[in-house]
Structure 1
Amino acid sequence: MARILFLHGASSSGKSTLARVLRDAAPMPFLHLSIDHLRDSGAWNPSAYSDWRSARPQFFSGFHRALAGFADAGNDLIIEHILDTPGWHAELASLLRAHRILFIGVQTPLETLCAREEARGDRPKGSAASDFERVHKGLSYDLVLDGAADPATNAEHALRALLQQQAPSQFFTTA
């Protein structure tokens, strides 16, 4: 059974920064996986698709299966994702059901999200605000972190929660 730290939050909420700090602070090795890694490596180029909306379901189905494949092979994971499409949460809950997940909500103030989005310049304008309004609705987390707080402190909280986790993850009860 793999251990999975599942970071969920709006675009520009601080998931990537937190994931890097978590990976470096963890007492065991974790693979850090996100679609940004695929984009940044050149393995995936969403602008190459003439109709991204049509290609999106296959891409994410493959990504979700790849996450499960890594976990099924025994790799501990830090996943950063935005569950913004109906069915994704249920699909991942089914694929990852054999693993131990700490479902972490990274909640960041709207003003911070917008400032980060502007500074980054690599996201569609307004995506952070759009995500802010909807990504956390109806979800229960094992741990909620403030994405504007110190990433090292957030990492400490997450690692402590992972080590102390007793109950089944909220990831499976809210899917």
Structure 2
Amino acid sequence: MLDVIILNGGSSSGKTTIAKCLQNSLPTSWLRFSIDDLIDAMPDAMFSADSGIKFDSDGSVSPGAEFRTIESAWMHGIAEMVRRGAKVIIDDVFISGIDAYNRWQVSLEGLQVLWVGVFCDPAVATARENKRGDRVAGMAVSQANVVHVGMNYDIEVDTSDASPEECARIVAQRINQEG
């Protein structure tokens, strides 16, 4: 029985919208958490400290040691909710690639996880980023490919042309196949 769905993709690739569509289409209740939730919960000081997380003017993101500690606690906290009966959809940006996957693997040990790669053409993601206005310019293009390096997904979707609803249907079909 599936416990967790992890959507990994670059900034503005459509992960959050797909997650919301999944919440509305799956037959049971699923909670949704995003790496943005963690970042939004952090104190302002974390954005200026070397040990925190820095969003550089070129769109790159540099997580420090204190951020990694808090991120680990967040990951383990979500895993504990799942162990206590919650179904969870996570939307994340694996800026450290396979290392991020490995950190989730440790947290989610013993749980059934569906790993979903959310791909998007960098030009399409950049146009979305510009329209959003709440991201550092360049994040979409800098993350579009690096988040997928070394990853082996259970299923992949591409939001360049497909709607979030269509991508959610593809993921839901895979969930139904697995029972």
- SS of match in other structure, 2:127: helix
Distance 2:171 2:31 in 1: 16
Aligned length: 163
For structure 2, list consecutive stretches of 5 or more residues without a partner in the other structure: 53-63
- Which residue of 2 is the match for residue 3 of structure 1? 3
**Coordinate RMSD, CA, aligned:** 1.8
**Matching of residue 155 in structure 1 with residue 153 in structure 2:** no
> How far did 1:72 drift?
1.2
Tell me which amino acid in the other structure corresponds to 1:29. S
Q: In the alignment, is the contact (CA less than 8 A) between 1:2 and 1:72 conserved in 2? A: no
Q: Does 1:122 align with 2:120?
A: no
2:54 pairs with 1:56: no
What SS class does the counterpart of residue 87 from structure 1 fall into? helix
Cα distance in 1 between the residues matched to 2:65 and 2:151: 27
Cα distance in 1, alignment partners of residues 99 and 116 from structure 2: 19
Whether 1:146 aligns to 2:154 is: no
Matched with 1:35 is 35
| 1:22-48 residue CA offsets vs partner (Å, 9 max, x unmatched) | 1011100000011323455xx334x43
Contact 1:2 1:75 in 2 (8 A): no
CA positional deviation for 1:164: 1.1
TM-score (norm 1): 0.85
Structure 2 match to 1:133: 145
Contiguous gaps of at least 5 residues in structure 1: 167-175
- Select 1:100's aligned residue among 105, 112, 116: 112
Query: What is the deviation of 1:88?
Result: 2.6
Return the alpha-carbon distance in structure 2 between the equivalents of residues 83 and 76 of structure 1: 21
Q: Identity of aligned pairs, percent? A: 31
